[in-house]
Structures are given as structure tokens and as C-alpha cells.
Amino acid sequence: MTYENLLFELPSGSHVATITLNRPERLNAINRATMGEVLAACEEIQSRDDIWVAIWTGAGRGFCSGADVSGPPPAGESESESELNTLLDEESWVSRQGKALYAIDKPMIAAVNGVAAGAGFSLALVCDVRVGTPNTRFVTVFQERSLPPEGGMSFLLSRIVGLGRAMDLSLTSRRVDADEAYRIGLLDRLVPEEELLPAANALAERMCELPPAAVRVTKRALRAGLEASFAEATGNETKYGGLARRAAQDAAESMASFREKRKPVYRGR
């Protein structure tokens, strides 16, 4: 697919895709056209066997300032059609974005440069690891627009920072700077600004050193564990362990490299 508001990059020989929100003049706010491209990027990440890890970031000085509803309807759609479709849709586009991102079972890293607000905050939350810089900041924003949290924020935020802090951030819509974000778990890595993408790529490459099937089922198991009993979680571990071993070549390589005391080479097979 050709993207206009995103940069979708997969260097030759790499298994790490970098998706850059590319509307820097709007602090990478997501309009309806960009939303469609985010959904398409999610499908591409999940469907391509050569992508093992994805990094999400923003062009310019911001990660994503949230929704941008100021633009015209997508090409070929009249304003009246757009409004009627919106009125009849029981699910917001931010929710569709959150579901599409959450459905991806490959590791995703948010390289959060600058502000992550509203739908941009939700995008960062749904990623598995968040890397930031001293310029990173988060704000829920939804309440300032007479809305509840969307895009999965109501599910993820309290699980990441705890219910009390989630209430604090949501009910005040206050800004969270990088130091506080790192302290409460919104950021998993805090690095100098110039090291943001190198740090995110180093983390992604480390993930790529492991069997991709095992990495994917590990993510599935941990996500399922959010809502499982102990018995259900251990059952999932057994189930997903069997799935990981279906990548027979990589399973054999993991044992052979261990016995031979060498670095393994995995192929996703």
C-alpha cells in the first residue's frame, strides 16, 4: 500500500518495521485519512512474515497530539455522507484504531518523541514497550473534549500505572512529564533525545534474536493473563507452548545452538 500520512519503512534484511506518523505540521494529529492508513499499517504488520517487530514514532517534535477533526472528508465522500456514517457508527474511530493495534501479536515499541495526547496517548499505551526522552509528555485530553477515555485507554492505563494514578491522570487531564512517566511506568526506557530511535531499534533487534514464534505466543500469553485466573493462565502457557513448537526449524535451532554454544539463527519457520 502507498501511504500519504505515514512512513512505513522496512530496511532490506531487517525484521523491524518503523511506522512514522508523518503530519509534523499538525504534531501528527490523526485525521480520518490517517486513521485509515493506521488500520492498513496494522494489517500489514500482522500479515507479513518478514516483520517480527514494529516501532511506532512521530515525525518532527511530537509523537501524536491526538485526533484532528478539522480536515475535510476523505476523497469521494461528501460532508453529509461523512456525518451520517459517523452518526450511525456505534464505534468511534479511536476505538477501531485501539482494537486493530491490540490485535497485533507481534511486539510493538512506541518511540515517544514529544507529546502523546488523546488518541496518541492510547496508541503509545497499546504498544508493548514505550521509550521516551526528556521531551516526552503525556496527557489524556479526552475529558477536555467531553469524552471518556478511548482507544483502549480505560483498559490499559490502570493496568500499567494502577487504578489510583489512572484516575488522577484521567480525572484531571494533567500533563505528565518524562521523569514522572518513567517513575510510574508509562515509560519503560528514558534516553537522551538523540538516542531515541537507536534505543528503540536496539530493543527491537534484541527481540529479533529470539524465536519469532516464541515471542509472539509470549505476547499472547501475557495479554491473555490480564483477564485470566491462575488456572486459565497456566493452561494458556501450555497451549501457547505447543503453538511455538510448531515453528519446528526454529525450535530445533534453539536446542542445537544451546548444545553447540553458538548464537542461534532464526528464520521464522
Residue from 206, 185, 196 nearest 58 by CA: 196
pTM: 0.91
Residue-level pLDDT at 32: 87
**Amino acid letter for position 201:** N
DSSP for the chain, written as a single string? ---SSEEEE--TT--EEEEEE--GGGTT-B-HHHHHHHHHHHHHHHH-TT--EEEEEESTT-SB--B---SPPPTT--HHHHHHHHHH-SS-HHHHHHHHHHT--S-EEEEE-SEEETHHHHHHHHSSEEEE-TT-EEE--GGGGT----TTHHHHHHHHH-HHHHHHHHHH---EEHHHHHHHTS-SEE--GGGHHHHHHHHHHHHHTS-HHHHHHHHHHHHHHTT--HHHHHHHHHHHHHHHTTSHHHHHHHHHHHHHTS-------
At 77 the pLDDT is 46
Q: What is the pLDDT of residue 94?
A: 86
pLDDT of 86 reads: 58
Q: Give, for all 269 residues of the chain, the pLDDT tens digit.
A: 799 999 999 999 999 999 999 999 999 999 989 999 999 999 999 999 999 999 999 999 999 999 986 655 544 444 455 556 655 565 677 889 999 999 999 999 999 999 999 999 999 999 999 999 999 999 999 999 889 899 999 999 999 999 999 999 999 999 999 999 999 999 999 999 999 999 999 999 999 999 999 999 999 999 999 999 999 999 999 999 999 989 999 999 999 999 999 999 999 99
Q: How far is CA 197 from the centre of its chain?
A: 15
Amino acid making up residue 180: E
pLDDT at 74: 47
